[in-house]
Amino acid sequence: MFPVLTLLEYAAAVILTLWGALGAIRNRPAGRGLLGFAAFVLLLLLVQLVVGIAAFGGHSGTDPLLFFGYVATAIVLMPLAGVWAFAELSRWGPLVLMAAGITVFVMVVRMDQIWQ
Return residues touching other proteins (CB under 8 A): 63, 65-66, 69-70, 72-73, 76-77, 80-81, 84, 88, 90, 92, 95-96, 99-100, 103
Q: Tell whether the torsion through CA atoms of 17, 19, 22 and 27 is positive or negative.
A: negative
Q: How far is the CB of 47 from other proteins (least distance, A)?
A: 20
Comparing CB distances to other proteins, the nearer of 3 and 30 is 30
Q: How far is the CB of 4 from other proteins (least distance, A)?
A: 26
The closest alpha carbon to 115, from 59, 41, 45, 46, belongs to 59
The C-alpha atoms of residue 18 and residue 22 are separated, in whole angstroms, by 6
The C-alpha atoms of residue 1 and residue 50 are separated, in whole angstroms, by 13
Comparing CB distances to other proteins, the nearer of 6 and 103 is 103
